[in-house]
Structure 1
Amino acid sequence: MKRQFAIFLLLLLFSLSLFSKPIEDKDIYASVVNWTDQVILSNVKETIPKIVFDEDDPEFSGKNTATSQGKAHSLARKKAKEKLKVRLSQRLESIYFNADYTLYEYTQVNQQARLRLNSYIGAEKEEYDFQFVKNVLEAKASLSIKGKDGILAHLPMEYGTERVPEFSEEMIPVEFSGLVVDARHLTLKRALFPKIQTDRGLDVYSPLYVKDAYAIETGYIVYRDNQNGKAYETKVGKNPYFVLALSTAGKNQTDLVIPTDEAAKFLSHPETRKNITRCRVLILVSQ
């Protein structure tokens, strides 16, 4: 009986790990950055205007009223969209860009980034979902981080200007499909462009090493809380190199430090270095 219970418990824990929640950061309006699925989400509830179609009614054409159900729904959707656009914009600008800046701070020192971000926000790339429940409109909106309509595709960024470092240590080269850095024991801030460096200060993962097409299409980085599921393998392949982070780094504590000898092992093979340029990197963090 005890053995059966133990097996049941293991299966339960395994199933829970498979269906773990995505890594999210929320603001005061409960707008969310989902770092696992790489999307920004927000939601609002809007009261549907009262329908008054009688011209003799004192409320006819008054504030927060409409003359038909279609008009009432249209007004509610318009108000909800205006609120959602503001909330998504605020959440977007508060994201950490890298170890030095939030996205808003970065646009203050980079005029091109400011213009591109304003253009992106004005281009209405949001996706909306509206559900009418009794006299309330439940509205949701999302902005993608990756993809051709995502945030990364519309931010000016210097990609791929440097080569992934090679180490001179003599060892048998081993090919790895990607890199997984475990930072679940650390207090790490999530960012669009975190760097990974060695304990000697050498960057081993940086926007300067990656190809822009991969960063935009798959995301420069993905955060998860486990190593299960198809999405994990899609990002880092079947045979990634696993390393435990030593500490966080940078002003915003978004970067990670790993041992130099681990970096040397990981980067010993040319195909592995190619996989770094393809953004096949994932960071494990705690919920």
Structure 2
Amino acid sequence: MKNFSAIALILLFGSLLPQSDLSADVLIKDFFGAISNWTNFKLEVETKEELQRISIDDGSENLDSETVSSLNHARTNAYQRAKKDNRQKLNRALEKITIDENYNLGEYMDENPNLREKIIHYYNAEPEIEKKKYEKNFLYLKSQLHFLGKNNLISKFYSELGGEEFPILNDNLPPVAFTGLVIDARDFKLNPAIFPKIQNEYGADIFNKRIAHPASVQEFGMILYLSDPKSKLLEKRVGNNPYWTVPIGVTGKNKTNLTVSYEVALKILSSTITQKNLKLCKIVILVAE
């Protein structure tokens, strides 16, 4: 029954999946060139490797380490070197991915040995997607590590997702239904995260990983981060009648959580229809480029 529910959810809300809109993608590049794409929830790295020289081995002399006997051999060696380099970059970048207000992935694994084993097993299975391109005497190898989907990074946190309902706020407002939520945080220094929180000004969680539907988090991500409010991805995620607001602050050690006013929280949670849409992760956060 659980499998059926997950499949039905994907079929009904497949449009929530991030697409390609590079002009609106939220990209963060580290010192070693790894790019964290927080719109599509993936890591991407690239390595350029020069192919070894090709020489016919007629038995009269030994080939040195810079020379091989065939193009296939040269390409294979270049690919092996590039793959090793890319995996080192991915591993380094993966450990630095911000999980929540307190931890990056490396720190989170240190605190959770069981999760650490899952992540190590996941990474050792070489889950990256590769794209090779040969140009003149060079190999360009791109490797991507996707976080969304049944067997990818976020799925390893599945047991930590769901199980809570929205807070019950005392003030009763006439219910107003919205198709989703858009928070424009472009004027704030906000760091994207896998599991951010939205809180009211008194610290109550309006949205967190326990409130969100686990299958939605796994398939779509808790939040769609965008830099452009005109992106077509916005309406695909939150529908044609989202509630737009601005935060009143950013909190958390890692500056990942947004605070909205008590009045805004009341309006967001006034309708069970809006609550259902929020549980399905129909939320966009706009961040500065």
Give TM-score, length-normalised by structure 1. Answer: 0.89
Is 1:32 aligned to 2:31, yes or no?
Answer: no
- Cα deviation for residue 65 of structure 1 reads 2.6
Partner of 2:52: 49
**Amino acid across the alignment from 1:219:** G
**Contact 1:164–1:277 at 8 Å: present in 2 too?**
no
Describe the shift of the 1:19–1:251 C-alpha distance in structure 2 as closer, same or farther (beyond 3 A): closer
Separation in 2 of the partners of 1:49 and 1:217?
Answer: 42
Separation in 2 of the partners of 1:228 and 1:148?
Answer: 30
Give the one of 247, 255, 268 matched to 1:245: 247
Give the one of 64, 74, 79 matched to 2:76: 74
Partner of 1:221: 223
Separation in 2 of the partners of 1:195 and 1:157?
Answer: 18
Separation in 1 of the partners of 2:163 and 2:22?
Answer: 38
Partner of 1:91: 93
Give the one of 279, 283, 286 matched to 1:284: 286
- Cα deviation for residue 55 of structure 1 reads 3.8
User: Any idea what the Cα deviations from partners look like across 1:19-64, whole Å, max 9, x if unmatched?
Assistant: 724111111111101111222100010111111222456551x223
**Amino acid across the alignment from 1:78:** Q
Separation in 2 of the partners of 1:256 and 1:131?
Answer: 42
Is 1:236 aligned to 2:238, yes or no?
Answer: yes
Question: Which stretches of structure 1, 4 residues or more, deviate above 2 A after TM superposition?
Answer: 18-21, 52-59, 154-157, 226-230
**Contact 1:112–1:156 at 8 Å: present in 2 too?**
no
Partner of 1:202: 204
**Contact 1:159–1:208 at 8 Å: present in 2 too?**
yes
- Cα deviation for residue 150 of structure 1 reads 2.6
**Contact 2:24–2:228 at 8 Å: present in 1 too?**
no
User: Any idea what the Cα deviations from partners look like across 1:194-233, whole Å, max 9, x if unmatched?
Assistant: 1110001100010010111100111112210122233212
**Amino acid across the alignment from 2:56:** F
SS in 1 for 2:95: helix
Partner of 2:114: 112
Please provide the CA RMSD for this pair: 1.6
Q: How many positions carry a matched residue from both structures?
A: 269
**Amino acid across the alignment from 1:205:** F
**Amino acid across the alignment from 2:43:** I
Partner of 2:176: 174
**Contact 2:158–2:214 at 8 Å: present in 1 too?**
no
- Cα deviation for residue 67 of structure 1 reads 1.3
SS in 1 for 2:244: strand
Separation in 2 of the partners of 1:157 and 1:84?
Answer: 30
Separation in 2 of the partners of 1:231 and 1:254?
Answer: 22
Separation in 2 of the partners of 1:173 and 1:158?
Answer: 30
Identity %: 32
Separation in 2 of the partners of 1:40 and 1:268?
Answer: 37
Give the one of 192, 195, 198 matched to 1:193: 195
Separation in 1 of the partners of 2:177 and 2:47?
Answer: 48
- Cα deviation for residue 170 of structure 1 reads 2.5
- Cα deviation for residue 157 of structure 1 reads 4.5
Give TM-score, length-normalised by structure 2. Answer: 0.89
**Contact 1:166–1:264 at 8 Å: present in 2 too?**
no
Describe the shift of the 1:253–1:146 C-alpha distance in structure 2 as closer, same or farther (beyond 3 A): same
Q: Tell me, which stretches of 5 or more residues in structure 2 are unaligned?
A: 1-20
SS in 2 for 1:181: strand
SS in 1 for 2:236: helix
**Amino acid across the alignment from 1:53:** I
- Cα deviation for residue 146 of structure 1 reads 1.0
**Contact 2:198–2:259 at 8 Å: present in 1 too?**
yes
Partner of 1:212: 214
Is 1:258 aligned to 2:236, yes or no?
Answer: no
**Contact 1:92–1:103 at 8 Å: present in 2 too?**
yes
Give the one of 97, 103, 110 matched to 1:101: 103
Separation in 1 of the partners of 2:242 and 2:94?
Answer: 31
SS in 2 for 1:114: helix
Describe the shift of the 1:58–1:154 C-alpha distance in structure 2 as closer, same or farther (beyond 3 A): farther
